[in-house]
């Protein structure tokens, strides 16, 4: 028999049919977790190069997945959820990621487990493990959360001031119905998969120079015209980098963003403010600061969904 795995450049492929008709799915993030599961299941160590044909996955049952999640959380499959001395050592979100990774590779993905077939991750025994670990977290018996806190308004202002101070704040058309606003359209973004998800969006100004997106955009455009890149009008150009190579531009932006953030977050003026507030600060909150602030000031989720850039102008009386 020809080595079916060789067709995929692999050696440790279990139970490959001689002429596989189905190409294995692959997802970089899920694959790592799935290989860990299969290694546990088969009591052997697969390399990250391993691929598993759907036909080799058909025997996976809900109790396999549930036991694996128990093992991940408690270090054993012999778990009594009523025993308050047994505490999970990982977060429920970690188990959920494991569950998603396993689900991703199941031959039957969409159907709930009906007792004999379906997706084994969509089953009561599996959901019960995750639920019990969540309950333990609530009771402070689980692993402590690693969540980081949001920026406060004081910290956000300090970030803006530091950016201006470092000279790196180099950084559309008027809306026809709202002459005091700008309209724009983003054709691709996170979680955007259809054209209808790219409506015209309105940018409103803020009565606060620290938060005004219009001022920031104007500054950026003026500077970029001077430097001759980004907003200067080249159709192949990216807005926030002089790099025009589609592969290099995101890396350039990412590196620049990291360097600037690191410089600001480690600056003495910012640390003087941040150290006064308890909790581990997450820089993730910088991009949702406006939404967090608006919700904190009483705006509804729907109002925040309008996605007004910068501080909500309506809250400023603008």
Partner DNA sequence: ACCTAGCTTGCTTGAGAACC
Partner DNA sequence: GGTTCTCAAGCAAGCTAGGT
Stretch that binds DNA, among 178-186, 221-229, 275-283, 308-316 (CB under 7 A): 275-283
User: Can you give the C-alpha Rg of the chain in angstroms?
Assistant: 26
SS3 of the chain: helix, strand, coil, percent, to 5 = 45, 5, 50
Residue 122 found at the interface with DNA (CB under 7 A):
yes
Residue 140 found at the interface with DNA (CB under 7 A):
no
Residue 39 found at the interface with DNA (CB under 7 A):
no
What is the 8-class DSSP label of residue 285? G
Q: What's phi and psi for 274, nearest 5 deg?
A: -65, -35
C-alpha 54/C-alpha 58 separation (Å) is 7
Residue 103 found at the interface with DNA (CB under 7 A):
yes
Give the three-class secondary structure for 195.
Answer: helix
Residue choice 282, 296, 306, 314 for contact with DNA (CB under 7 A): 282
How would DSSP label each residue in 238-255? BTTBS---TTHHHHHHHH
C-alpha 83/C-alpha 316 separation (Å) is 53
Residue 291 found at the interface with DNA (CB under 7 A):
yes
Residue choice 81, 104, 169, 220 for contact with DNA (CB under 7 A): 104
- The interface mask with DNA, positions 58-97, x = CB under 7 A, is --------------------------------xx-xx--x
Strand pairing class (173-174; 201-203):
unpaired
Stretch that binds DNA, among 49-57, 140-148, 157-165, 239-247 (CB under 7 A): 140-148
Q: Which of residues 159-188 bind DNA (CB under 7 A)?
A: none
CB contact at 8 A, 97 and 40? no
Residue numbers of the site for DNA (CB under 7 A)? 29, 32-33, 36, 48, 90-91, 93-94, 97, 99-100, 103-104, 109-110, 119, 121-122, 127, 130, 143, 145-148, 190-191, 193-194, 281-285, 288, 291-292
């Amino acid at each position: 028999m020809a080595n079916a795995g060789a067709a995929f450049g692999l050696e440790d492929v279990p139970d490959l049919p001689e002429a596989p008709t189905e190409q294995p799915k692959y997802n970089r993030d899920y694959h790592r977790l799935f290989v860990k599961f299969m290694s546990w299941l088969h009591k052997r160590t697969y390399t990250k190069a391993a691929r598993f044909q759907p036909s080799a996955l058909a025997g996976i049952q809900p109790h396999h997945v549930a036991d694996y999640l128990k093992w991940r959380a408690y270090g054993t499959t012999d778990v009594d959820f009523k025993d308050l001395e047994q505490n999970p050592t990982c977060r429920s979100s970690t188990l959920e990621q494991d569950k998603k990774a396993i689900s991703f590779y199941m031959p039957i993905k969409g159907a709930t487990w009906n007792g004999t077939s379906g997706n084994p991750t969509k089953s009561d025994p599996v959901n019960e493990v995750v639920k019990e670990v969540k309950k333990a977290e609530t009771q402070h018996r689980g692993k402590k959360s690693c969540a980081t806190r949001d920026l406060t308004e004081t910290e956000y202002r300090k970030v803006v001031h530091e950016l201006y101070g470092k000279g790196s704040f180099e950084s559309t058309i008027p809306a026809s119905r709202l002459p005091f606003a700008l309209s724009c359209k983003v054709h691709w973004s996170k979680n955007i998969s259809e054209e209808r998800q790219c409506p015209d969006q309105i940018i409103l100004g803020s009565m606060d120079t620290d938060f005004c997106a219009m001022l920031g955009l104007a500054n950026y455009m003026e500077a970029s015209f001077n430097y001759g890149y980004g907003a200067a009008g080249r159709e192949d150009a990216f807005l926030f980098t002089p790099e025009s190579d589609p592969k290099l531009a995101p890396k350039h932006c990412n590196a620049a963003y990291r360097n600037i953030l690191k410089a600001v977050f480690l600056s003495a003026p910012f640390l003087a403010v941040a150290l006064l507030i308890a909790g581990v600060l997450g820089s993730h909150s910088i991009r949702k600061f406006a939404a967090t602030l608006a919700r904190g000031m009483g705006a509804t989720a729907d109002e925040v969904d309008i996605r007004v850039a910068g501080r909500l102008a309506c809250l400023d009386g603008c």
